Amino acid sequence: MSEYAAIEKEAEIFTGICSRNDAIDPALFDRYGVKRGLRDKDGNGVIAGITNISRIDAFEMRDGVKTPCEGKLWYRGYNVYDLIRGLRGKRYGFEEIAYLLLLGDLPTRDQLNTFTDCLTKCRDLPSNFVRDVIMKAPSKDLM
């Protein structure tokens, strides 16, 4: 059985979820004037892309004045600090946050189990990888 065949069903489901949750209306590019640079002629930041995956808030409006702030990072509408606090001391959160970023929502327990099982099936290194790559060509920095 090929490596892909082991997860084909799950991959099809995940592909459908990604397509639904990550579609961007092409009209938004014109509406928001998406540019290729990072600043306009006045030195203000410009929209370099449109995504519903993350958002950075670098300014706040205070008394009608745009003021730099400490900044906030949002993943799919969730404040990253809230996500971290929700994971603290309970479990590792890589798989949950990966699911959120890739598929658009925090997973239910069943969805997380399916996703984690799928990732586990894909983690195996090719046979002889350690011998051929690590042991025969060692590096000072394993990473």
Checking if the pLDDT of 39 tops 80, the result is no
What's the CA gap between 13 and 19, in Å, rounded?
Answer: 10
In this structure, the strands spanning 54-62 and 78-79 are unpaired
Give the mean pLDDT of 97-107: 95
- Percent of the residues in the chain that have a pLDDT greater than 70, as a whole number: 83
**For the purposes of burial, counting CB atoms within 10 Å of the CB of 61, is it exposed (0-12), middle (13-18) or buried (19 or more)?**
exposed
- The pLDDT assigned to 12 comes to 93
47: closest CA among 60, 34, 31, 56?
A: 34
Domain boundaries, the chain: 5-135
Checking if the pLDDT of 36 tops 60, the result is no
